[in-house]
Structure 1
Amino acid sequence: MTSSTDQHGLDEEFEHKPVPLSHRHRLSSVAAVWFGFPMIITNAVFGGVIAYNLGFSRALLAILMGNAILLTYVGTLSFIAGSTGRNFALQAERTFGKKGYAITSGFLASVVVGWYAFQTGLTGTTVHASFGWNETATIIVATLLYTAVTFVGIRALSIVGMIAAPLYVALGLVALYLIGSAHALSTVFLYDGLGMNSLMSFGGAVTLVVATFADSGTMTADFTRWSKDGKSAVYATLTAFPFANLIAQVFGIAIVCAGAAAAPATQGGNFMPVLTSHGGVLSGIALIFVFVNLGSVCTHCLYNGAVGWGRIAGKKMRTMTVLLGLLGGLLALAGVWSLFLNWLNLLGVLVPPIGAVIIVDQIFVRHYSYDEDVPNFRGSAFAAWALGALAALLVHGMAPWFSEAVAGMLVGAVAYYALSLGAKRAVRQRNGLL
């Protein structure tokens, strides 16, 4: 084994140490990983659901605000990753402690594996509903395919992104063209949604946009540690937020606002039925699109989970990819994946404060120098996470008009900064410096 390859003869994934500068990738390669990730049918669904509730103008504003928050949040975490070369688990270790990181990293790595299982099961139901294929057989094929692609490593995710993004845009435009023959697209800008009858608040819509990438966005370091520097990592993130994410969601907005969505309240701007209903070559392309589209989500989530659990278990990313890939596939086959959505969304409320604490710690408090002694547990980081999560849950239940994701970030960040200042002041007092 060399420094550039692992035991499989593939590129080293650096699960347990920062990526050396000699092994960093071009901006285009790292950007492809992030740019292709948001180009998924799920974003068209969410964009359409928001438009159905808020109308065109307010939906577009909510999506723009959500993407601005994601750019600030994910971009800052990416800057840290590109500057240090550390993956998320190594980032968390500096902030939450040499042993404490296993709690935050394990929590997030488990959440993304849950999303992998959910999307793998969704592949089976989507293909069965659209093409009549056997659902069980499709899930097995999807599990093997997604696991194999993830096994190759970060370069495979880059290739998937290069395919997924243009395919999404092309088929989205085809869907709009087909819709335009039966619906007046000029009415899109006048769509008012449910208005006062909507149960979704503006803040809830912003939260929905942020929540779609709260998990993998917090773990962005797994992707952007491969950037040559912090600035390149931010540029790579910029291709996703706002650009790719906004494009993906605007397709859903347009389909709902044109009156072409079959079930806008639940399926939003899902344009798969538009493609499959025309049969012929388009149906064949749509089948490929399902596997590429959902596969993009699954491979990214599985990669996050494998890197995270690999660090915790002291294993290679590829070993964990096989184990977690098969575990997620079994959960999908068992049918329990359909029960995941509500609790995965709820757990997503608890995630943003983690990233906020890391940002404050490693940008303002600066607990990431190589020579600094890191404690086993940093209590102030866990206390701030708990306060941020509590604030998010309170907003979720008592003030749905506000964004729970933003509340969690702000409270977590302020709490950690205050606790850190208090700890420094206490140290100075003990040393007689005050």
Structure 2
Amino acid sequence: MNNKAEIETLDSVDHILGEEYEHQPVPTAARRSTFSVTTVWIGFPMIITGAMTGSILVLGMGFTSALWAMVIGNLIMFAYVGALGLLGTNRGMNFALLASIVFGRKGYVFASGLLSTLLLGWYAVQTGITGALISSAYDLNYVAMTIVAGLLYIGITFVGVHGLHLIGLVSVPLFVILGGWVVFDTASATSWQAILAYPGNNGAATMSMGVGLTVVIALFIDAGTVSADFNRWAKDSRSSLIATFSAFPFANLIAMLVGGIMTAALAVPNANPFGADNMFGHMNGKQMAFLSALAFVFLYLNLGSVCAHCLYNAATGWSRIFGTRMRVMAVILGAIGIAVAAGNVWAFFIQWLSLLGILVPPIGAIILVDQYLARRNAEIDRDWRPSAFIAWIIGSAVAVIVEFYLPHFSTAISAALAGGIAYAALALRPSPERVTA
């Protein structure tokens, strides 16, 4: 197929499924309803992985302290993601376009490329988790189940933002119903007083509040930073904030509470939330054919939501870098993710992805300072903006110091604050070049 035929085919696909506006702002006429953007966001964090994270927090901190970490962390995420999302709404731009203003028309590649690669990595990890849980629970072939999952998730992403809307419509009600059942089923074996008083794994809390906040924030800091990819579709600021609130704190907090309450209620010594000690394992543990079949469908659809969102973000970012279409990159990157997941090497990526995640908070903080304080309504006016990179290095350096030498503090918060303050000092310094620094 020649280039002209390929372009015509892609144009036809965009005409049928809708333009994704990879390289330009979303026009007002193409914006989506508040309900549509909300279903896109709410379906992202209301997932079983969030419940597993809630379990880890409760095991490490005890229920009450973990609850505080969940609430505070999610409120911080609402402020951070909401502010970045508003930039996308007001200007109609995706993250890569916003990053081009702040880091430069060439410099943005480093910020957008990093985040897009991290999100592709998480797509592979979540796809691998899908295959692993299905394989162990139903004694099915791991590679086959992983490939089926990956292809399903590529299909959802290929549809575009409307596909994210549709998967949210299905996955969210399923999670609310099944998560609610798990909570009340496990809580019925004990008392709410005992759940609130749960002290942590084997009666000892080992996780500090700073680490707990980092766990909450780090779960979606990558996707939260590229929130403009979703919020650019909102019609106005009100719709943008409603959609963000549906995710943080609402959906993310509910997901974490489902896992946290279940863990505190069952009080299993040395519980393994990423093994059988999660809501999926609890449903299968009842040994009821109908519930097990429902759990099978639920897992694919629920993790399909987060995987499709991650792949959409990754494909949007890399399509801008390579000058191609989101749907083309979704297929290419999705295939790479499936290969990583099916090769059963995804577990080795988790620590690496988490470590790279410490580089992310300064990026969002720098964009916020630049667009709200230093250079409102600025345009893409140069190839490189050194001040943004200097602040990014400072923020990441602080993150590394906190991560390895001050483990009781929050790495994510420290990194964002350091990066934002450093950029403010550089961009707002009294000088004739302040506006174009």
Per the shorter chain, which TM-score range? over 0.9
- Long gaps (5+) in structure 1: 430-434
Q: Is the 8 A contact 1:82 1:231 kept in 2?
A: no
1:420 partnered with 2:427:
yes
| Mapped partners of 2:129, 2:281: distance in 1 | 15
**Pick aligned residue for 2:105 from 86, 92, 98:** 98
Q: Provide the residue aligned with 1:346 in structure 2.
A: 355
Q: Provide the residue aligned with 1:402 in structure 2.
A: 409
1:285 partnered with 2:288:
no
Residue type of the alignment partner of 2:206: L
Residue type of the alignment partner of 1:317: M
Greater mean deviation of Cα atoms: 207-216 or 128-137: 128-137
- Long gaps (5+) in structure 2: 1-7
Q: Is the 8 A contact 1:127 1:138 kept in 2?
A: yes
| Mapped partners of 2:203, 2:419: distance in 1 | 33
**Pick aligned residue for 1:252 from 253, 256, 259:** 259
Q: Provide the residue aligned with 1:165 in structure 2.
A: 172
Alpha-carbon distance, 1:338 to partner: 1.4
Structure 1 residues 337-376: aligned runs within 5 Å: 337-366=346-375, 368-369=377-378, 372=379, 374-376=381-383
Q: Is the 8 A contact 2:362 2:392 kept in 1?
A: yes
Structure 1 residues 24-43: aligned runs within 5 Å: 24-43=31-50
| Mapped partners of 1:198, 1:187: distance in 2 | 16
**Pick aligned residue for 1:296 from 302, 305, 316:** 305
1:61 partnered with 2:68:
yes
Q: Is the 8 A contact 1:5 1:12 kept in 2?
A: no
1:144 partnered with 2:145:
no
Give the SS at the match of 1:264: coil
Alpha-carbon distance, 1:45 to partner: 1.1
Structure 1 residues 307-346: aligned runs within 5 Å: 307-346=316-355
Q: Provide the residue aligned with 1:432 in structure 2.
A: none
Per-residue CA distance 1:110-149 (angstroms, 9 max, x = gap) = 0000001111111111101111111111111111111011
Q: Provide the residue aligned with 1:230 in structure 2.
A: 237
Alpha-carbon distance, 1:265 to partner: 5.5
| Mapped partners of 1:48, 1:64: distance in 2 | 15
**Pick aligned residue for 2:28 from 18, 21, 31:** 21
| Mapped partners of 2:238, 2:371: distance in 1 | 16
Q: Provide the residue aligned with 2:94 in structure 1.
A: 87
Per-residue CA distance 1:262-316 (angstroms, 9 max, x = gap) = 7436549621111012221111100001101111111000000000000000000
Root-mean-square deviation (CA), in Å? 2.1
| Mapped partners of 1:425, 1:350: distance in 2 | 29
Q: Is the 8 A contact 1:188 1:254 kept in 2?
A: yes
Q: Provide the residue aligned with 1:264 in structure 2.
A: 271
Q: Is the 8 A contact 1:52 1:265 kept in 2?
A: no
Q: Provide the residue aligned with 2:5 in structure 1.
A: none
Give the SS at the match of 1:9: helix
Alpha-carbon distance, 1:366 to partner: 2.2
Residue type of the alignment partner of 1:133: L
| Mapped partners of 2:328, 2:221: distance in 1 | 26
Q: Provide the residue aligned with 2:3 in structure 1.
A: none
Change in 2 beyond 3 A, CA 1:184/1:414: same
Residue type of the alignment partner of 1:35: I
Residue type of the alignment partner of 1:339: F
TM-score, normalised relative to structure 1 = 0.94
Q: Is the 8 A contact 2:123 2:307 kept in 1?
A: yes
Residue type of the alignment partner of 1:163: V
Change in 2 beyond 3 A, CA 1:5/1:263: farther
Q: Provide the residue aligned with 2:132 in structure 1.
A: 125
Q: Is the 8 A contact 1:96 1:378 kept in 2?
A: yes
**Pick aligned residue for 1:114 from 121, 127, 146:** 121
Q: Provide the residue aligned with 2:55 in structure 1.
A: 48
TM-score, normalised relative to structure 2 = 0.93
Q: Is the 8 A contact 1:49 1:267 kept in 2?
A: no
Q: Is the 8 A contact 1:54 1:195 kept in 2?
A: no
Change in 2 beyond 3 A, CA 1:314/1:414: same
Change in 2 beyond 3 A, CA 1:421/1:196: farther
Alpha-carbon distance, 1:368 to partner: 3.5
| Mapped partners of 1:183, 1:197: distance in 2 | 20
Give the SS at the match of 1:258: helix
Q: Is the 8 A contact 1:32 1:161 kept in 2?
A: yes
